Every structure is written in structure tokens, then in C-alpha cells.
Chain A
Amino acid sequence: MKEGNLLLDIKDLHVHYQVYGGKTKVIDGIDFQVEAGKKIGLVGESGCGKTTMVRSVMQVLPTQARIPKGEVFFDGDALLKISKRDLNRVRGQKMSMIFQDPTASLNPVFTIGSQIEDTIRYSGMVKGNDKKVIHEKAIQALKDCSMPDPERLLKCYPFELSGGMRQRVCIAMALATASKLMIADEPTTNLDVTIQDQVLRLIRQLCEKKNMSLILITHSLGVARMMTDWIYVMYAGQIVEKAVTSRIFEHPYHPYTVGLMESIPKLTGEGIMEGISGKLPNYLNPPKGCRFQDRCKKVMEKCRNCKPRLFPVEENHQVACFLYERGRAEDPEVSHE
């Protein structure tokens, strides 16, 4: 990626959680880049740290989380270092986040209107906080998400809306203020399939319209393929593979990615998929070397002792696995590094 175009640049990020009996190293040295206007998919199994990573960009981590090391640059600001006030300005005007559960991400005791309008008010994007202007912006945000009858909707409480409606309200709220980056943390997990499709299309369409970048967290590789330009595969707090979306589906390299792809059930009915055996390592005391070693079929001696960094295997395709330390070792047509 070209450095000049970077909107978000995460460098060597570590996140630990203080828990009883020590600290869990949930994010372990992640590098992550988002170019302006690009849509990035972040995939990986539950508990691998996807949400923690994006929450540390937004700085909405739980209280027991610590960031001992790492830097997050966003649009010229070092997010981990700037003042609270500047951080709030960045959050208010440049980036927004949509959370997983639409039933939980709207405050139950305030009307939709007061929540959207307050978001707009505190983003500082309306000069002098003119009530009328704020109200119109809120209406416009709902209209952008093709919500019917926005005036009435503003007077509703969240419990009066369906799950799909609530998620669209969340999207409207996020888009009302954000202008550069949208983070969507499994926005459709709790919605039924037909609504899922609508919501995803809406997110994509709005991001393209405003030329915003998108980080989409998802379990579903199908969703990632449909929505994104780049895909980052995460395993146990580390990025194990990153590539242009079309490439990674054509040729996954990392044994974990390969397993992930193989565990998608096929419609042709070949029985239950094999999947990946084993479970995530213990974050309190993660294994030395590659974190995937205990579940990997191709594990080597080196994997037990050393931590692999990302090795380039093709243009726009990097893998953190010693199998590809010297390029595509299995594939002689690619020249060595």
C-alpha cells in the first residue's frame, strides 16, 4: 500500500486485559492499514480479538483493558496520544462505529430523536448548535438510510422498533456524523437473512456515496467477499494473512485461512465439514512462537520457538507463516525474497 493514501495505520498494537490471575494478551503486535475509501474485512473466529482491535481504535475498550505498546494513526492524529478533547472531536466528526447487537446499542430510555440529535450536537459539526439545523440533519440521516416517516421515527423509543429498524437507526446515527471511517462490528449477526442483506447493501452504498473507508468485522466469509476490497484474517490476537479480497478466495495460504475456507458448508451437500480442530490458545499464557501451532497440521520445529512476521507471497498478499518464509516455497513459479 502507498503510505500517502493511508487513513488508518495501526502499528505493533498490543492490548492486554487485567483479569484475576494475571493479564491476557488479547492483541499481540498487530499491524493494520486502511486506505482512504477502501473497504476492509476483518475475519476470524469468536474470541480472536477482532472487536478488541477496532474498539482500541475507537478507544472504547472495557475498563480492565490496557494498551502497553503500539500506535494508532488516524488521518494525521496519533489516537493513543492526543488529548481527550481532540479524541472526541475525531470520534465525533471523522469516524463512527456500529455495534453488533442493535437491541443493545440504542439507549432504551431516550427517544431515537434525542439520541441522534445529541450525537450530532456533540460532534460539533453544526455551528452554534442551532436546534433546527440539528433536527434537519437527523431527519436527513434517517432519510439517507431510506427509513419511512422520519419525523415520527424520531419520537419513537427503541423498544417500539424491530431489530432491523434499530440497526438502520444505528447506521443512520453513525453516518450522521462520520465522514472518513466507519467501523461495523458484525452488524448483521443478530438479524435474519433478508434483513442482513438489506443492511449490508445499505452500509456499502452509503460508504461509497460518501467515499468513506469501512472496517467490517464478520464471521461470514461470504459477506466479506461481497463487501470488501481487502481482507485481514485474524487468529488469537494476530493478523495471520492479509490480501486483496479476490486473491485470498482464489488462493488462501495460511493453514488457518485454508481451514476457515474449508469449514464453509457447501450447498452441494458433501456432508459436515471437517473444520479446524482444537480451540483458541490460552491468552493468559500463550504458546511461544506461532499461536496457531497446536491446531496446525503443517507445524514445524521453528513454529514452536519463533513468532512469524508477515511474509509477502504475492503482490498485495502477505502471510504470517514460516511455510512461506522464502515466498511461495510450495510454489516454484514465484521468485524468492
Chain B
Amino acid sequence: MKRLKYILHRLLWSVFVLFGLSILIFCIARVIPGDAATMALGTRATEEAKELYREQNHLNEPIPVQYVYWLKSAVQGDFGQSTQTRRAVSSDVAEFLPATLELILFAAILEIVGGLLLGVLCARYAGSWFDNLIRVVSYVGISVPAFVWAILFMLTFSFLIPILPTIGRISAGITVPPVTGFLLIDSLIAGNFQAFGDVLKHLIMPGTALALAGIAQSARITRGSMLENVEKDYVGSEIASGMPLRRVYARYILRPAASPTVAIIALDIAAMLGNAFLVEVIYSYPGISKYGINAILNKDLNAIVAVVLVIGVTFLIVNILVDIISSVLDPRIRA
């Protein structure tokens, strides 16, 4: 009950945060240089046509007035037209967001499982060759950007040893009836396991490239945080009570040590929404990150605002989740 109230409280505040974010990004989108009308209609459009476009889109009004126009239609679910795709921004988001979310969730699972597993193993065998190897390798993981991994993977697994598909979300010729937009889920709903496997194959390279830095970082943090706890008396007393070391590490050391890891992993996952851009470009993956960057490059005002809001909402949700998970993990936060 107390927790439900807390979540509602947080959600209420989120509305204000999103409101502020929308004002901020609305202004920034209009301040960045470039003429939206020219970008929308092309350089060869006549001055009259551009003027008409500005008139229709209220671009001649002062920014606060423009914002009120935007807000009025936004609360009705209408975020305007995109100049790139010439479709409603809302339907673009509905199409591209699930693709990116699918990619990010795949990367997130890799990061959580890989990061925690490596971190726990390194802490358990601290100082061993395994620990040293992972520590050195994780420096490489952290310092090499995702797009380099993406290119390296593509070179290795699509060119040298062609075992994985290179581009897109799904192979041409395989179709899945759209229900949720998440192809993995849709293919399961349709009972099409061939499609499921195909989608999964398409996720492996971009997902891994995206997750590597996070795996390395979270493994290091988990390791450090666990080693801080290893020398505590309660660990001694748990070992002394005859509990097998495996259980002591997996339960009694990991849990008090997990809070910083959870926070880092969560923020990392939220940040992937923006960072996925280069990976999406390299693998021609039709995701929202790529859509957002193109919107900025083309001064596609409505699309920019919508994409940034989506990222904002994601951060807020992730933050609330982190708070909830942390309070479950550590009762001292609840009190």
C-alpha cells in the first residue's frame, strides 16, 4: 500500500517533468539553425510555397504561441506531421519505437546477465587469472565505442564467417502479422518459430555491440561492490556457520552489493535509446534512434520533439523502476 502510494506520487511528478521537458525541447528544436520550411519542401520550392508552409504550421508566430498550438493537439495524441516520412509522427513512433525497444531489451538482458555473472565470478575468484583477464578485457569493452564493435562483428560474422544476417530486423520474405510491433512476440503469437529464430539472429550482432560497454562497466562495479562486502563480519559469520561459499556469494554478498549495479545498469539501458543510433545505422535497423537523428539533421520539428519526449518517458520509467528494485533489495531504503 505504502509502495503503491509512492509510485503514484512519483508518476504525478513525472507529468510535471515531462511538461518541462517538452517546453525545453520545443524551444531548442526551433532555435537550432536551418529553415524548417526549406528542409521540408526542398531548396527548389518557391518562396510562396514556403510562406504557405510556415503559415500552415504556425511557424511565423512567436514560440510560446507555437507551443500552445502544439500542446493543444499533443494532448489529443496528435504530434503533427513528420516532414521526412510525410506521415503522422505518432504512427512513425508507433512503428519505430518497438523495434528499438526490442533491440534494447535484448541488449539489456545481455548486460544484466553478463555483467552480474562476470562481476560475481570476478569477486569470487578475485586475484586469479580469470579475474585479471576479465578486468583487462573490460577496459577494452569500456573504451571501444559500440559502433566499432558493430563494424568488427559485421566483418567477422557476416563476411569472414557468414553465419549471421547483416541488415534489418527480419529477412526479406518472412512476414509476421503485426500485433504488438515487437517481432519476437508477434512471431510467437503467430506460432511462427522460423520467424522467431530469424528475428533473434538479427538481434545478436547489434544487441551485443550495444551491450558490451555496459557489460564491462557493470561487471567492474559488481566486482568492486562485492569485494567491499567480502571482508565484512557478516560474511565471516555466514561462512563460519557452515554455509557453502557459492550460496554466501550468490545471496548474502550479492544482494547488499547489488544496489549500485542496478542503478548503473538501469541508466545505461535508458541511455541506449539514444546511443543505439550508430548501431542502428550500421545494421540498417529501422529503429527510433535512427529516426530521431534524421529528424534533427532534417530539422523535422515535430519528430524531434516526439522522439525526445519518448526518451524522456523511458528515463522516468526506468528511474521509478530503479527506485522500486532498490527498495526491494535493500530494506534500509524503505525505512
Q: Contact residues of A with B, CB < 8 Å? A: 55, 58-60, 62-63, 84, 88-93, 96-101, 104-110, 118-119, 122-124, 157, 159-160, 170, 173-174, 177
Assess the A88–B242 pair: CB atoms within 8 A: yes
**Which residues of the partner chain B approach A174 to less than 8 Å between Cβ atoms?**
237, 241
Assess the B239–A93 pair: CB atoms within 8 A: no
The listed residue (A96, A107, A157) touching B234 by CB distance below 8 A is: A107
Report the Cα distance A92→B329, complex, angstroms: 27
Provide a sorted-by-A list of 26 A–B residue pairs whose CB atoms are within 8 angstroms.
A60-B240, A63-B230, A89-B242, A90-B242, A91-B239, A92-B241, A96-B240, A97-B240, A99-B233, A99-B236, A100-B233, A104-B232, A104-B234, A106-B234, A107-B256, A108-B234, A109-B256, A109-B332, A118-B243, A119-B238, A119-B242, A119-B243, A157-B335, A159-B331, A159-B335, A170-B237
Minimum CB–CB distance for A12 against chain B, Å: 23
Report the Cα distance A305→B111, complex, angstroms: 61
Most chain A Cβ neighbours within 10 Å, of B230, B241, B247: B241
**Which residues of the partner chain A approach B331 to less than 8 Å between Cβ atoms?**
108-109, 157, 159
Report the Cα distance A101→B231, complex, angstroms: 13
Q: Contact residues of B with A, CB < 8 Å? A: 126-127, 230-234, 236-245, 247, 252, 255-256, 329-332, 335
Report the Cα distance A40→B170, complex, angstroms: 73
6 closest cross-chain pairs (CB), A and B: A92-B242, A91-B242, A105-B233, A99-B233, A104-B233, A119-B241
- Taking A92-B241, A96-B240, A99-B237 as contacts, is the C-beta distance between A109 and B232 under 8 angstroms? no
Report the Cα distance A3→B244, complex, angstroms: 32
**Which residues of the partner chain B approach A93 to less than 8 Å between Cβ atoms?**
242
Assess the A58–B256 pair: CB atoms within 8 A: no
Assess the A173–B233 pair: CB atoms within 8 A: no
Minimum CB–CB distance for B28 against chain A, Å: 42
15 more contacts with CB within 8 A, not counting A99-B237, A109-B330, A123-B242, are A58-B240, A63-B230, A84-B245, A88-B244, A98-B237, A99-B233, A107-B252, A108-B256, A109-B256, A110-B255, A119-B243, A122-B242, A122-B243, A159-B332, A173-B241
Assess the B244–A109 pair: CB atoms within 8 A: no
**Which residues of the partner chain B approach A106 to less than 8 Å between Cβ atoms?**
234, 237
Report the Cα distance A71→B272, complex, angstroms: 56
* Chain A residue, CB-CB nearest to B232: A104
**Which residues of the partner chain A approach B245 to less than 8 Å between Cβ atoms?**
84
**Which residues of the partner chain B approach A92 to less than 8 Å between Cβ atoms?**
241-243
The listed residue (A55, A88, A157) touching B332 by CB distance below 8 A is: A157
* Chain A residue, CB-CB nearest to B330: A109
Report the Cα distance A97→B241, complex, angstroms: 8
Report the Cα distance A118→B256, complex, angstroms: 17
* Chain A residue, CB-CB nearest to B242: A92
* Chain B residue, CB-CB nearest to A99: B233
Report the Cα distance A173→B237, complex, angstroms: 9
* Chain B residue, CB-CB nearest to A55: B236
Assess the B233–A101 pair: CB atoms within 8 A: yes
Assess the A110–B232 pair: CB atoms within 8 A: no
**Which residues of the partner chain A approach B255 to less than 8 Å between Cβ atoms?**
109-110
Report the Cα distance A98→B236, complex, angstroms: 10
Assess the A177–B242 pair: CB atoms within 8 A: yes
* Chain A residue, CB-CB nearest to B126: A63
Report the Cα distance A160→B332, complex, angstroms: 9
Report the Cα distance A99→B237, complex, angstroms: 7
**Which residues of the partner chain B approach A173 to less than 8 Å between Cβ atoms?**
237, 241
**Which residues of the partner chain B approach A90 to less than 8 Å between Cβ atoms?**
242
Assess the B247–A122 pair: CB atoms within 8 A: yes
Assess the A123–B332 pair: CB atoms within 8 A: no
* Chain B residue, CB-CB nearest to A123: B242
Most chain B Cβ neighbours within 10 Å, of A84, A97, A170, A173: A97
- Taking A100-B233, A105-B233 as contacts, is the C-beta distance between A122 and B241 under 8 angstroms? yes
**Which residues of the partner chain A approach B230 to less than 8 Å between Cβ atoms?**
63
* Chain B residue, CB-CB nearest to A106: B234
Report the Cα distance A63→B237, complex, angstroms: 15
Report the Cα distance A175→B335, complex, angstroms: 30
Report the Cα distance A158→B118, complex, angstroms: 30
* Chain A residue, CB-CB nearest to B237: A105
Report the Cα distance A157→B332, complex, angstroms: 8
Minimum CB–CB distance for A61 against chain B, Å: 9
**Which residues of the partner chain A approach B335 to less than 8 Å between Cβ atoms?**
157, 159-160
**Which residues of the partner chain A approach B234 to less than 8 Å between Cβ atoms?**
104-108
Report the Cα distance A90→B277, complex, angstroms: 57
Minimum CB–CB distance for A128 against chain B, Å: 17
Assess the B240–A91 pair: CB atoms within 8 A: yes
**Which residues of the partner chain A approach B233 to less than 8 Å between Cβ atoms?**
99-101, 104-105
**Which residues of the partner chain A approach B231 to less than 8 Å between Cβ atoms?**
62
* Chain A residue, CB-CB nearest to B238: A107
